[in-house]
Amino acid sequence: MTMFSSRNWREYPHRYRLEASKFKKSGKTYFPKRMVDPETGDTEQETVNLPDTGKIVTYTVIRIAPGQWGDQSPYGLAIAELTDGTRLMAQVTDCDVEKIKIGMEVRIEFRRVQSEGHHGVLSYGYKFVPKWY
């Protein structure tokens, strides 16, 4: 198994603060950050923080899951389009899985995403929750 601690630490800007690359030429935003604009090949960019609300564009409910995910199943997993048009995948939490649907408005919340067993590091990041206020 890879060392989870360093791999996770490296992703903090994305997982904690939703940092993304906005490229100068195309004006397009990519999450997570990347060095080259896939469309233009441009490397000039600024770091932006993604908005924290959006809508589900597609989803599933995972009912059979391996390892630590088993304790959480059934859980929703969705791709949401945020208000700036960026898409990302995350769990849908605090939600009756039967009520998840395309077009559902979601908010991004900071949650514990994984635990490396009972003794290892905890990893935090973003999840979707139903936007109810």
Partner 1 sequence: MAGIVGYGAHLPRHRIKVEEIAKVWGADAPSYKKGLMLREKSVPPPDMDTITLSVEAARNALKRSGGIDPKDIGAIYIGSESHPYAVKPSGTTVAEALGATPDIHCADFEFACKAGSEAMYVALSHVKAGEMPYALAIAADTSQGAPSDALEFSAAAGAAAFIMGTKNLIAEILYTHSYMTDMPDFWRREHEFYPQHAGRFTGEEAYFAHTKGATSAILKKAGMKPSDFQYAIFHQPNGKFPQRVAFEQGFTQEQIDPGWLAPILGNTYSGASPIGLSSTLDVAKPGDMILMCSYGSGAGSDAFIWKVTDRINEVRDLAVHTRKLLEENQIYIDYGTYAKYRRKIRKNA
Partner 2 sequence: MREVCIIGVGMSKWGEIWKQSLRDMHTDAALKAIKASGVDHLDSMYVGCMSCGLFVGQEHLASLLTDYMGMCGLPATRVESACASGGMAVRQAFIEVASGISDIVMASGVEKMTDCSGDEATYALATAADQEYEVFHGATFPGLYAIMACAHMAKYGTTRAMLSAVSSKNHTNGAMNPVAQYPFKVTPAQVEKSVMIADPLRILDCSPITDGAAAVVVTTVDIAKKLGKPYVKIIGSGIGTDTIALAQRDDITTIKAATIASKMALKMAGKKITDIQFSEVHDCFTIAEIVVAESIGLYEPGKAGPAFLAGESALDGKFPINSSGGLKSKGHPVGATGVAQMVEVYKQLTGQAENGRQIPNSPKIGMAQNMGGSGGSSVVHIMEVA
- How many residues lie near partner 2 (CB under 8 A)? 33
Separation between Cα atoms, residue 127 and residue 124, nearest integer Å: 9
**Interface map 87-126 toward partner 2 (x if CB under 8 A):** xxxxx----------x----------xx--------x-x-
Residues sharing a CB contact under 8 Å with residue 119, sequence separation 6 or more, in sequence order: none
Q: CB of residue 79 vs partner 1: minimum separation in angstroms? A: 19
Task: With beta carbons less than 8 A apart as the criterion, state whether 14 and 32 touch.
Answer: yes
Give yes or no for a contact between 40 and 26, defined as CB atoms under 8 angstroms apart: yes
Binding of partner 1 by 67 (CB under 8 A): no
**DSSP letter, residue 50:** P
d(CA 60, CA 102) in angstroms, rounded, equals 10
Number of residues forming the site for partner 1 (CB under 8 A): 21
Stretch that binds partner 1, among 38-46, 79-87, 97-105, 125-133 (CB under 8 A): 125-133
Binding site for partner 2 (CB under 8 A): 7, 11, 14, 30, 32, 57-67, 69, 72, 75, 77-79, 87-91, 102, 113-114, 123, 125, 127
